[in-house]
Amino acid sequence: MTPHIEAGRGDYAQTVLLPGDPERAQWMAQTFLDAPRCVNRRRGALGFTGRFRGKPVSIQAAGIGVPSFLIYANELLDFHGATTLIRTGTCGGLSQDAPLRSVVISSAVHPESALSGQVFGLYHPAGPDPALHALAVRKAVELGIPHSAGLTACSDVFHHPAGRARFDEAKALGAVAVEMETNALYRIAAHFGARALSLLTVVDHVVTGEETDYRERQALFTDMTRLALEIAAES
């Protein structure tokens, strides 16, 4: 086991889906996996392993923001044998191309700004595994899932004094959505030579001002979860 994950070696599949919310991890596992078993409860960050279409798949809650996310991603990659990480998170829409409740496939990620805490010494985009990205786009079309694929922005700051004006730079770069973990995902995967992809559900929209109700959040993630698991099964 590792400091933040009580599971032993072999308890995780090589492909791990990474939602932020432990309740979402549990819902995903119980709704979509065959014979899911809980492999981690430490700190309430629930982790599960089961099968989807006969293939072993794990789902591990990773919390909010880069510090929390990197702890779980690092331990999964360095100790628990994970080779493919698929983020299943939420985002705010920055473009009409990413409407409320649709799925965003992050084709590349850019730090929100040089002061966002997301730079890691390199203020330039990072990207997903190309094969996973291509598979995601193809499967989204096959499954009829409303989606967009494009640049996403990433920041450590959720409640920001500048309000919506803070997103002007990201929108000017062509970012379709903003969230808090994908920059870390793509960079740590590259460090370990692992594959990574970020799938995001638009739960609020900066341009239109629309918001989803938190009570619909689990059902809202059905399309994203189906897409992530189909990718896991075929990759």
Active site residue 129: no
| Residue entry with tokens 């922005």 | 153
Nearest to 63 by CA among 44, 49, 81: 44
Single out the catalytic residue among 129, 168, 204, 213.
Answer: 204
Residues annotated catalytic, as ranges: 204
